[in-house]
Structure 1
Amino acid sequence: MFARGENIIQLMERLAPKHYAVPDDKIGLQVGSVAREIRKVLVTLDVTQAVVEEAKSLGAELIIAHHAVIFRPLAHLRTDTPSGALTANLIKNDIAVYISHTNLDSADGGINDWMADALELNGRDVLEEVHTDQLYKLVVFVPESHHEAVKTALFNAGAGWTGNYSHCSFNIEGTGTFLPREGSDPFIGKQGSLTETKEIRLETIVPLSVRKKAIAAMLKAHPYDEVTYDLYAMDLKGRSFGLGRVGKLSEPETLDEFADRVKKAFDVPFVRIVGDGAKKIRKVAVLGGSGAKYMRHATFAGADVLVTGDIDFHTAQDALAAGMTIVDPGHHAEKIMKPNVAEWLTEQLARQGYKTEVVASAVDTEPFRLR
């Protein structure tokens, strides 16, 4: 059985929810339709004509990319322009394109975490918050016989977390009353008879990001045909998600030694460096893509170095004057997303019994070359 396109998109939005994206980012389905079975998915950083030809040769019906195909508002769709010809090639060959951009940057276990993993950073924090998970208090009334089952289902669905503590709940014994009416299917009691039963009031915390999943798990584990529960918004702050990561190396390195680490981690032929090569580096800020405007965020976070792409001349001058160190591996370092997304999606599809194949693109979309 092959997954339908909608199933694959749901999985991608579990990894990188849309509300994690920065405002006005161009994400989601941009070309084609996913209302069909998908036999093969191609994961790429950019969608170029070479990538489309690769998708055609592989028989991929869906491309998942990081960078948008349609970024600016279209004034026309002319097939005699590069962008128009690219779109026409996709449509002609019935290949859909789905974009996961800053939401994949911000996601827990997304691009910035993969980059931090590659640099072996410990004790990480978010560099720039984009979204804070709203917390809710869930209260449900459960018969004693199913109390543990419902509680476990909620915890397994991601409920019960506060800070670094998991499996948090509060439980009070009491007496529930109800009168099953015509058409009901009571687990306890009989139609037409007022029933009293020992119940437990179970309270726990549910983040917005897992609210639907947690409620579905609770309802499935609960024995009643009509489940009584309440959901309250809380003032308590939930987890923060956002761009970039800040963490520490296990041992200090010189800037030049660290630059070699960056080259190896992101498989790039060179890096551009701002700062004294002998400077000791311990705390590192990393942000995939173009991160020049986050230099101040890195400084405020106490980072010794900012690792990001597309640093311009004047930003480099400002950084040097301010004593801030930068290592620029280029925007294309985000290619780290290709094998990671392909691996994650393959695992998720296999768990659900789908035979859909996911392939990381072998096309190098780096536009620069060295002489």
Structure 2
Amino acid sequence: MTTTLGQVIAALEAAYPPRTAESWDAVGLVCGDPAEEVTRVLFAVDPTESVVDEAVETGAQAVVVHHPLLLRGVTGVPADDPKGHVVHRLIRAGIALYCAHTNADVADPGVSDALAAAIGLTVTGPLSANPAPELDVLTTFVPHADAVDVLAALHAAGAGRIGDYRDAAFTVAGTGQFRPVDGANPAVGTLGELEHVDETRVEVVLERRLRTRIVDALRAAHPYEEVALNLHEMADLPSRTGLGRVGVLPEPEPLHVFAQRVADALPETVQGVRASGDPDRMIHRVAVSGGSGDSLLKTATAAGVDAFVTADLRHHPASDHAAGGDAVPALVDVAHWASEWPWCEQAAGVVRAAFDGTVDVLVSTRRTDPWTVGATSRTRRTNQR
């Protein structure tokens, strides 16, 4: 049994739906033929020359990365351009390139779940939750003999979908009454007479965007001339998807111990791990956000966590934040690449589970963090206060 690139992409897109990516993002297949057979896939954070080298050396037919190669619009990919050269090398070697970026950031599980797991957190929910789909509840009343067919029509139109469940509904038996008057053409009953009918109350949940389609399906399937129905809008609720995650440590520990925990959990970089806050402050509830996260500083503060782990914290936002003292979370800043590298194993697990035995998965251990040299002053020039 062979596995095609298209099948691998389908598995990845079930876990990281492209429709959830930001509008400015560039996700999906960069190069490659979905009909081609795939036996080995390499996962990495960045589509660099080094990662292409690794794909060639390991015999991978596809590379799956987090960061887009062509995030900004281009009009060409000449081989003498750095990004164009990567594209040419991939195509010549018969290697596909696929990207899951912000759609992997917000997925459940996604990039921040992988970071939280690496640190040893038990995730309790998103840091900045996406809204759940807007839902309605539809209630209608159907003669017992027609209830199964009407419910099947509602489900076929998209009603009754709750998370990973389909064909959900609530039914209960009861008695309906009505009196047909002049102008009516009743399927049941006689003009002018009060009619009592054994009916089934049918209740289903539906996405609000499908409201018109489902109501039309109800009216087409229902035997009555006039269909009795109630349609209620549910209150908006947060979903399990969104940026960042909040989690808890098994036991509280001082900030300096926690910072070392983070350093030990992530791959080594020149930057290492740095923290802002009282070294002895106890850390238990933690927010994390893979990649650049200083836009979530206020969100992390509002979440009431003890520490916020992310990457690319800039001087001024971090300094302004730290002025809040113990009223705000301690900050732990790591290298961007290191914060997202744990996702590679998560994404590899998606393909491994879908094609166990037919597709080999490899996680790149090559450091694609751009910083290659670190230095510490050997002369004390400032006093720490």
User: How high is the TM-score relative to the length of structure 1?
Assistant: 0.74
Q: In structure 2, what is the equivalent of residue 289 of structure 1?
A: 291
SS at match of 2:361: strand
- 1:253 and 1:281 in contact (8 A); partners too: yes
SS at match of 2:148: strand
CA distance change for structure 1 residues 75 and 142 in 2, over 3 Å: closer, same or farther? same
Give yes or no for the alignment of 1:100 onto 2:100: yes
| Displacement of 1:253 | 1.7
- 1:309 and 1:330 in contact (8 A); partners too: yes
Amino acid at match of 2:58: L
Amino acid at match of 2:55: A
Q: In structure 1, what is the equivalent of residue 342 of structure 2?
A: 336
Give yes or no for the alignment of 1:237 onto 2:250: no
CA distance change for structure 1 residues 249 and 30 in 2, over 3 Å: closer, same or farther? same
Aligned residue runs from structure 1 range 75-224, under 5 A = 75-122=75-122, 124-135=124-135, 141-142=147-148, 158-159=164-165, 169-172=169-172, 203-205=203-205
Q: In structure 2, what is the equivalent of residue 267 of structure 1?
A: 267
User: How high is the TM-score relative to the length of structure 2?
Assistant: 0.72
Amino acid at match of 1:158: D
Amino acid at match of 1:327: V
Matches of 1:246 and 1:134, distance apart in 2:
24
CA distance change for structure 1 residues 66 and 235 in 2, over 3 Å: closer, same or farther? same
Q: Deviations over 1:324-348 (max 9, x none)?
A: 4210121112110122211221112
Amino acid at match of 2:89: N
| Displacement of 1:168 | 7.0
| Displacement of 1:85 | 1.1
CA distance change for structure 1 residues 205 and 2 in 2, over 3 Å: closer, same or farther? farther
- 2:121 and 2:250 in contact (8 A); partners too: yes
> Alignment partner for residue 351 of structure 2, among 345, 353, 364?
345
Matches of 1:343 and 1:123, distance apart in 2:
19
| Displacement of 1:138 | 8.1
Amino acid at match of 2:320: D
Q: In structure 2, what is the equivalent of residue 366 of structure 1?
A: 369
- 2:135 and 2:233 in contact (8 A); partners too: yes
Matches of 1:90 and 1:340, distance apart in 2:
24
Matches of 1:233 and 1:49, distance apart in 2:
55
Matches of 1:266 and 1:59, distance apart in 2:
27
- 1:32 and 1:96 in contact (8 A); partners too: yes
> Alignment partner for residue 331 of structure 2, among 306, 326, 330?
326
SS at match of 1:142: helix
Matches of 2:125 and 2:170, distance apart in 1:
30
- 1:119 and 1:265 in contact (8 A); partners too: yes
Q: Which runs of 5+ in 1 are unaligned?
A: 161-166, 176-197, 212-226
Q: In structure 1, what is the equivalent of residue 178 of structure 2?
A: none
Deviates more, 1:26-35 or 1:93-102: 26-35
Matches of 1:318 and 1:25, distance apart in 2:
30
Amino acid at match of 1:9: I
Matches of 1:260 and 1:287, distance apart in 2:
18
CA distance change for structure 1 residues 42 and 76 in 2, over 3 Å: closer, same or farther? same
Give yes or no for the alignment of 1:356 onto 2:359: yes
- 1:142 and 1:201 in contact (8 A); partners too: no
CA distance change for structure 1 residues 138 and 94 in 2, over 3 Å: closer, same or farther? farther
Matches of 2:341 and 2:318, distance apart in 1:
24
CA distance change for structure 1 residues 199 and 109 in 2, over 3 Å: closer, same or farther? farther
Tell which structure's C-alpha radius of gyration is larger.
2
Deviates more, 1:258-267 or 1:98-107: 258-267
Q: Deviations over 1:149-169 (max 9, x none)?
A: x9xxx8998227xxxxxx974
Q: In structure 1, what is the equivalent of residue 216 of structure 2?
A: none
| Displacement of 1:199 | 10
CA distance change for structure 1 residues 199 and 41 in 2, over 3 Å: closer, same or farther? farther
| Displacement of 1:349 | 1.9
- 1:159 and 1:205 in contact (8 A); partners too: no
Amino acid at match of 1:10: A
CA distance change for structure 1 residues 137 and 360 in 2, over 3 Å: closer, same or farther? farther
SS at match of 1:91: helix
Matches of 2:233 and 2:246, distance apart in 1:
28
Matches of 2:359 and 2:123, distance apart in 1:
36
| Displacement of 1:364 | 2.3
- 1:116 and 1:286 in contact (8 A); partners too: yes
Matches of 2:346 and 2:123, distance apart in 1:
21
Identity of matched residues, %: 33
CA distance change for structure 1 residues 273 and 71 in 2, over 3 Å: closer, same or farther? same
CA distance change for structure 1 residues 364 and 273 in 2, over 3 Å: closer, same or farther? same
Q: In structure 2, what is the equivalent of residue 214 of structure 1?
A: none
Q: Which runs of 5+ in 2 are unaligned?
A: 141-146, 176-197, 211-220, 223-228, 376-385
- 1:268 and 1:329 in contact (8 A); partners too: no
